[in-house]
A and B are shown apart, each in its own frame.
Chain A
Amino acid sequence: MTRVYVAGVGMTKIGRHFDKGFLDLTAESAFKAIDDAGGIEPEAIVVTNMMSSRLNEQDSLGAYIAAGLGFRGKPAFKVEAACGSGGAGVYNAYLMVRSGLFNAVLVVGVEKMTDYPTSTVTAALAQAADAEYELFYGASFTGLNALMMRYYMEKHGVTRDEMSEWPVMMHSNAVSNPYAQFRRKITKEDVAKSQVVADPIRLLDSSPIGDGSAAVLLVSEELAKKMPNKPDVYIAGAWMAVDTVELTNRESLDRIPAARIAAEKAYKMAGLEPKDIDVIEIHDAFTVNGIMLLEELGFAPYGKAAKLLNEGRFHPGDRPTANPSGGLKARGHPVGTTGVYQVAEVAMQLRGDFPGLRVDGAEAGLTTNMGGDGSSLSVHILRKT
């Protein structure tokens, strides 16, 4: 079966793009990715996005973006898995190329969040949860993650101060990333003093609202061989797993079992173990997500990730380095495209041309993108040839 290469990547800076709509943002990232791949024309387009229907009153998004970017007549569709849409879209494109039916598939994610007041965006994001048994009661998305964060901290005896190490590291990592929404350092004191959004989650535990677009062009081995500059990064393992959307039907509130399942499958496909991974870009929409994912992905024992983080693990210089981009917390989280940013960033880390904090000599990297509070998980493992 054909190997699937990452032939091109493109990103926009994340932030408040009041002057740019869906087509402006996607044109920037998609054309960058295509040019990065030496101008290869995609045979199909996968658009990833969460909230275009609810917030931007735009459906038909596959057609709208693909045709708008000059790809009339080609297959195109939108992939939605809430905040995990980006990773789910890359996984779909991977399957399309791996199947042998397509030699070049463009994944382009986009989200426009800043045109509306926070309460409207909060209500739209909350649709990631169960409409009848969570959303109905006013349980916001932050609220649901707060339920998990309190449970995790109380069960494992983790303090506020220990949890704060995550956002502090994220902000520090993002300082040199030109695509990041926030490029300023914060302290644990800043986190502790920031506004309570949904107790115990504070503003500086939460990823920001922002607009952005990222794209990756995936190609088959057959096509890669014909390229003048053959790409040297490929997807060695990829898997997706889902869980109950509603929290109450899960076995435990401090676990993300779908992440463990997707990761185990992806490691097996790649023939790698957690100790072989040099760099990771993982989903930290909230502090507790990053901490719990370190455990589910096999990088820390159950209940111990925050402790290890405070001992210096996962910081720049350590392996794996976690979220050198700054993660969702500081690079930003334009929800439906975040998973595409992660794959683009790790591909650049392996190529050695990521423009921010670099993990020198990285040979293998992993991304994890999560939809809902653990209901749609995708894992991609990238390797250098």
Chain B
Amino acid sequence: MPLSISPARVWREREPRYRLVGKRCKKCGAIIYPPRPACPHCGSRDLEDVELPRTGTVETYTIIYTVMDGFRHKAPLPIAIVRLDNGLDNGARVLAPLTDIDPEEIKTGMRVEAVLRRIKQDGEHGLIAYGVAFRPVLSEPRK
């Protein structure tokens, strides 16, 4: 089944998806990712753009064996929720695949950094959609 990737749709998300631009709520201080027009915590519309750090910690993860159409070549597919290093208690979370790692080595609490990876493709010669994935941090000593 073709994926029918829409260039406009991918382009629209370029700032949040590739540069990890979220929102900071000026009223309650929460960091919001993905960005929303109003704060999910206090409802305020007084938000500002904030570029998030590209390193963080795996808060939870899964390894998907029964994958959806379009992801068969990626199975088993590891997906994590990463808590980014905002220096705040409520640092933003990002959901993304884990990459460059053996599924058996994945652990809650491991340090990861964001990189750009191919996520899906419209057939063999079609459009390619890229996205953020997280890999083990190379610049910090492994624990």
Contact between A143 and B64, CB atoms less than 8 A apart: yes
Q: Please give, as numbers and ranges, the residues of chain A lying within 8 Å of B92 by CB-CB distance.
A: 248
Contact between A143 and B72, CB atoms less than 8 A apart: no
Contact between A198 and B71, CB atoms less than 8 A apart: no
Contact between A137 and B96, CB atoms less than 8 A apart: yes
Task: Enumerate chain B interface residues (CB-CB to A < 8 A).
Answer: 1, 9, 13, 17, 32-34, 36, 40-41, 59-72, 74, 77, 79-81, 92-97, 108, 119-120, 129, 131
Q: What are 25 A-to-B residue pairs whose CB atoms are below 8 Å?
A: A118-B66, A119-B72, A122-B69, A123-B69, A130-B34, A132-B17, A132-B34, A133-B17, A136-B120, A137-B79, A138-B67, A138-B119, A139-B79, A151-B60, A195-B65, A197-B66, A198-B62, A198-B64, A199-B64, A244-B36, A246-B95, A247-B95, A248-B93, A249-B32, A253-B59
Number of A-B contacts (CB under 8 A): 120
Contact between B131 and A137, CB atoms less than 8 A apart: yes
Contact between A140 and B66, CB atoms less than 8 A apart: yes
Contact between B108 and A154, CB atoms less than 8 A apart: yes
CB distance from A171 to the nearest CB of B (A): 21
CB distance from B91 to the nearest CB of A (A): 11
Q: Which residues of A from 97 to 131 have beta carbons under 8 Å from B?
A: 118-120, 122-123, 126, 130
Cα-based distance from A126 to B69 in the complex (angstroms): 11
Q: Please give, as numbers and ranges, the residues of chain B lying within 8 Å of A139 by CB-CB distance.
A: 64, 79, 95
Cα-based distance from A136 to B118 in the complex (angstroms): 11
Contact between B69 and A143, CB atoms less than 8 A apart: no
The answer to the question of A134 belonging to the interface, with a C-beta cut-off of 8 Å to chain B, is yes
Task: Enumerate chain A interface residues (CB-CB to B < 8 A).
Answer: 118-120, 122-123, 126, 130, 132-134, 136-140, 142-143, 146-148, 150-151, 154, 195-201, 244, 246-251, 253
Please, which residue of chain B has its CB at the minimum distance from the CB of A117? B69
Given A122-B68, A196-B65: A138 and B97 interface contact (C-beta under 8 Å): yes
Contact between B62 and A199, CB atoms less than 8 A apart: yes
CB distance from B33 to the nearest CB of A (A): 6
Residue of A119, A132, A151, A248 with most chain B CB atoms under a 10 A cut-off: A248
Q: Ordered nearest first, which 6 A-B pairs have the shortest CB separation? A: A146-B62, A248-B93, A151-B60, A138-B71, A123-B68, A198-B64
Q: Please give, as numbers and ranges, the residues of chain B lying within 8 Å of A123 by CB-CB distance.
A: 68-70
Contact between B81 and A248, CB atoms less than 8 A apart: yes
Q: Please give, as numbers and ranges, the residues of chain B lying within 8 Å of A200 by CB-CB distance.
A: 62
Contact between A119 and B95, CB atoms less than 8 A apart: no
